[in-house]
Structure 1
């Protein structure tokens, strides 16, 4: 019986062992599904993107997920972007977990943030053997330049064309044209650095090639016919020349490169009997070392006619202010107490070519009582209907006062009476109300002269000057 009972229990244990399930080796599956709809109408949106998955016609989508935080970004043209997230819990092998995440999108556009575009110029200088050339200076008008050995850097520039002049000991000056092209700002935050690079080849002085500059052009009349034998005055910086047009109305001259800078103007004045003189100016194009620059200027001369008015009969007046120069006292600039007057004196001294103002005595006269003079000028009468200058004249008196207790400083070194002249022609050229010239040169006043204009003032219709 004992043997039989043991055998029975053995059979039961064996049966239970056969029915036990083994653990699954299949990894769990995580899914995120949902519906994307229009937040204003509630209608499903097809074609929306959810982390790369595209919604169907009913707005549904499905995508795989991972354990932990899953961030979802929903985008669609003409709708504002939606960002949401879901946390996925870990499950056992062989099982599937599905999370539902719906999104409602509002019509509209996102306003992107763009980076700040900053432009920089970087350049290097080498010679014909590709060896680095140590720069002594780099000049680009209007720019602050950092020079280190054979490189230079300019930060904070704006798009445009820049002209650089490079100098190095033992080398010929080199010229470079640098184009800084504008670029579109990228989306995002911070700075977007755009660098324009230039490599400049410098030549040693004994082998350097020289840039060639030419100024030329044609002179024609209003009927587009050539004007021969016209006088052409050419000014390029300090260079000046007188030319004559040939039978084709053509003129041409070469200008040495030493006269050319990045801002040099070529000024052409053309004249001929029977024609109204004409003047034109243009910037000379700076070119690379060894290259050729041609500045072409076309001039059209207009024939004179009997309708041209006679010379303006206006004449400026002249008057003398008798300053008590016998009371002049020599004064050092450091003894002058008014800082603004001292600054004016130093500026005038520089214009007069005085290198060290502290080493000279300045004659000073004190005017204790006001000195008043009347400066009478002759002005052409302007036709109030047409605004044109006539040959009739009128006298105009300006009362000029040197105020009392004014100190007069003769920086030029000679104390004398002050001569004032009204310059009417300059007034017309510069549209000034009144323009005066004075002698002696280098006179500085501690108080400004006072001027009273003759009243009443007539306002004309479109006058040739105001």
Structure 2
């Protein structure tokens, strides 16, 4: 019995010792768990990536540069970025540069968001689309007495209504400011100096046109004013002078300059070193004297400008500066992505007509017509109707005290030739397309555009008109033709006609089964607006083998169709795809490369352009359906950096570098894609003027997020790959 008691006592003590030891071990484990640091979530990562291809062959482009990153042999690229609107510039030697932007939105810490930007680049075998400088106009002048001695000016001595003016010594100049932008037009400088009669200087600033290059093209109009002493008053003096240069600001020497008056006088002035000057006899100037300056130089379009000579009192001097920028006949308009080059032409309206001035109120009463070339019907309207149409469709307003009116004595019929690339790749050819610009005899061309000068308006100036074809806009705006007419604000009492070939082949005994709408670009709303005059919509129709469009006023206009790009939705595709992969980290964070693929790119929803066009335009000619299909496809590609959608999402590879915190047990990754859905619509106009909507929906994967699915690993050991042991790459392929 004693032995049994001892044995029992021993067993109890042994059991207690085992319990105590377990407690010690448990305490040690708990202490180790407490020492494991709580990881800080990694910052979110934002990546832009994609593939760059050749727009003509579809081949991947290696060596293209995207924001400093170079594409690989497979045309792919990627780079990290930050939250906010990011400008993306894609370029490669021999190709046209493409610029777009991505709005990078903030995501939770530890997440990775990737934005996909794919682009198809067009070859630049012809010169790059030229960049143009911003024109900036300045006014500078000097004041002298009749002996040629400089007259010192004080602050406020020189006033140009609506502009800020600074003086120094005997010189003055306009002061640039955000609210003091000088535009082409007529300005009057008023000079008051004690002891001298008041002096006036009319300064005509003509539109300088576009100049290739970057930055600012400064055009300075210079004037000299001679003041008469009060004690020595002489007859009024009238001076017309100016400088002549080309669109690059280079002086044009030895141009032929002729100045004529509406009272019949003509003066051969000539020019020297790009400068001309004429002092008119005092007795030929009356309150209604209109002077016309004509400038000609071989190799340049002729320049002409008419204006009212301001009448001044005895002893005063009136100086009108007409600075002319001559455009070279060899100048070309900007080319399209495919190498097409739009033509440009100039009509010598002032030189072939007679110019007068009148008030806007009187001009509004002038009769005008709108013409239906299909029926020959003319509808009587007034200039006021055209001004109302111009204000509605372009945002242009009449802000002058007097408008200039030039009546065309002989019909003007001039060509406008463009080099247009047909087809793609090796099968492409260059075709010359000749349009005709016609201004009928008897048309009154009314110039209404001038700058507003702080509540004091100015007199409009008559000058030659120019028409340029914009081949770049035609693709994105479902237009058969797009033109820029200058100067803006010009009105035609009989419509200017634009004649051009049908975009589809038409048999000699047939006519197209469609017509084209006439639309203007509104600079205020930044949208295209249907042209209506007197409540009647304007169309370009097919007559005698050509389309004819009527233009009653000037700015940017097109012959084509209304179109729309509507964003249906931007939302994540849920549920997210779970990419299962067991792995873990130990006591240190680990940078890993995650590789895989997802279904991405851009794809048509339900119908391709050819299917949608065939369904919507049943019964129309096959050639029309093919042309509208091509027009809609170009519009979609123009909105997608030259990349055409396909019929289904395609496998798109990704490779992302991501840091995983220490002591994490990873089970896999969540891949969430964000989908953008857009609908593209074209309103086709049939020959009977009824409209048919052709619509295509496109969806694109615009970005994706890669989120780590993990949990705290207390032991530093886990399931799957030990990333700290040199795994480094997680490949789902």
TM-score of the pair, normalised by structure 1: 0.30
Higher fraction of strand: 2
Q: Which has the higher contact order (CA 8 A, sep 6+)?
A: 2
